Amino acid sequence: MNSRSRAHSFKSDRNIITEVKSVNQSLIFELGSAEKSGVDVQDCDFSANLIGDSFRKEKIGLPGLSEPEVIRHFVNLSKKNYSIDEGIYPLGSCTMKHNPRLNEKLARLEGFANLHPLQPINTVQGILELMFELSKNLLEITGMDAVALSPAAGAQGELCGILAIKQAFEKKGDNRSKILVPDSAHGTNPSTAALCGYDIESIPSNSEGRINFEILKEKLNSQVAALMLTNPNTCGLFENDILKIAEEVHNVGAYLYCDGANFNAIVGKVKPSSLGIDAMHLNLHKTFSTPHGGGGPGSGPVVVSSRLSSYLPIPMVKMVNNKFEIIEKESIDSFGRLKAFHGQVGTFIRAYAYILSHGADGLKQVAEDAVLNANYIQSKLKKYLTVRYSGYCMHEVLFDDKFLKGTEVSTLDFAKAMIDKGIHPMTIYFPLIVSGAMLTEPTETESKKDLDDFCEKLIDLAEEAKSGNKNLFDSSPTKAVLGRLNETAAAKDLVLTYSE
């Protein structure tokens, strides 16, 4: 480390991190046994005559514990998790921003929390009205003509959009076989296209991190059904040729699908309809700040232009004679049902509250602040880490591993050491087209103070790596509960069952 004086040195940061217990926590099955119970229950006669042959005849084997034992077990587990409530969560392309507690409170209102999808229509008019109004807001924000709320997450939103495109071609008797996907796309893009029966052709990026427009034009022909484009893209850059791209795609009769994972960078600033986009999924758990991670709950409504509006899936919420109805009957063009029921209702409530509390001016500021924060990080770190693409970025900044060359420290080592600094690592090794990628998204919810602290810690790590302190990185993280795990071994040798 050089002699530059800073308020936060690596050593002092390690010392001020709160000590966490390094002892493994037992499974709840190891804490209790089926022979014990936390409550006294009288012997009961659960004969088959009471509830028929469906009565379970085998022992379940659930562990018996007292209430304090159960509470302490799960509270202690929760303390081992890092969360957005503890600090910055800079996962690039994920938009892990603060979830306003107002939204959570509204989603937990009794009238919402106790709903059931099989209730009679006349008893759920309130939530149907909210879904109807949310749809109107999403269409206003995007400038599109129709929306399907049912997709359960972004990947299913992609599936919804591509199925609508496939249905449109089939109705016209046009059997197209290919979908074009940039090489920097999310992995779900080519997976979705393949699932729908299309061949995938990759479009390389140019030296500026954007889609190679000339190669795109060469690959566009009458067999192409769609181009799946992310804008801003996964390199954190806006596709400047978007209008020309849309024109070329439409010239061959294809559709322009937009992956909306990065919509947080342009929400309130630009309407996707004005960019020539035909279909786009919106991650409510990213742009509109509903909680996500750990498998859900996600939500990926799909907005489409008039060219695709009749091909969306059922069910749909419509107003009929001043009453809200759930339209279950397939239209002549709809590709059918995508999933059971009507989507992730809890996320609808949170997203609607988020939109109303921000308003048009607030949503615009969300995008502006997200872009400002990312460029602030880029400007502070570009002397110490290497920025992959020159110029201003959008809502996330992409670093590569050039600054680590000759240090024997890898991107993974660097990320592990960040844990000991008390901060969650950014997205690493993605996009795949960048060597040792470190994709960093601060979102709009981080203060300048927190951004400064984040940058200082990364600067310290970069200087430790360049000073030859490889042992520090080899042993990191030392403050995590289980130390440094072997992710490869864990993925290949899964332990999914408990046995005594």
pLDDT digits (tens, 9 = 90+) for 320-374: 999 999 988 777 899 999 988 888 899 999 999 999 999 999 999 999 999 999 9
Residue 12 confidence (pLDDT) above 50: no
Residue 8 confidence (pLDDT) above 60: no
The alpha carbon of 302 is separated from its chain's Cα centroid by a whole number of angstroms, namely: 15
407-460 pLDDT, tens digit per residue, is 999 999 999 999 999 999 999 999 999 999 999 999 999 999 999 999 999 999
Least confident of 86-90, 263-267, 440-444, 457-461: 86-90
Nearest by Cα to 340 from 176, 199, 152, 469: 152
Residue 87 confidence (pLDDT) above 50: yes
Q: How confident is the model at residue 53 (pLDDT cuts 50, 70, 90)?
A: low
Three-state DSSP class for 427? strand
Rounded CA separation 317/342 (Å)? 9
Between the ranges 178-182, 326-330, 476-480, where is the mean pLDDT highest?
178-182
Rounded CA separation 112/127 (Å)? 7
Q: How confident is the model at residue 296 (pLDDT cuts 50, 70, 90)?
A: low
Pairing, β 316-320 against β 438-440: unpaired
Q: What pLDDT is stored for residue 498 in this prediction?
A: 53
> Percent of the chain, pLDDT > 90?
73
Rounded CA separation 402/68 (Å)? 52
> Percent of the chain, pLDDT > 70?
90
Residue range 139-165: mean pLDDT, rounded: 96
Please give the residue that has the higher pLDDT: either 290 or 40: 290
Residue range 249-261: mean pLDDT, rounded: 97
Cis upstream peptide for 431 (omega within 30°): yes
Q: Which domains does the chain have, with CATH numbers?
A: 25-79 (no CATH), 104-357 (3.40.640.10), 362-492 (3.90.1150.10)
Rounded CA separation 87/249 (Å)? 42
Q: What pLDDT is stored for residue 14 in this prediction?
A: 38
97-126 pLDDT, tens digit per residue, is 998 999 999 999 999 999 998 899 999 999
Q: H or E segment at 199?
A: strand 199-203
Least confident of 57-66, 417-426, 463-472: 57-66
Q: How confident is the model at residue 10 (pLDDT cuts 50, 70, 90)?
A: very low
Residue 46 confidence (pLDDT) above 80: no
Give the pair of three-digit tokens for residue 127: 């939530």
Which CA distances in Å does 346 have to 127, 284, 315, 350? 10, 11, 17, 7
DSSP structure string for 227-269: EEEESS-TTS---TTHHHHHHHHHHTT-EEEEEGGGGGGTTTT
Mean pLDDT, the chain, integer: 89
Per-residue b/e over 18-38, b at no fewer than 16 CB within 10 Å?
eeeeeeeeeebeebbeeeeee
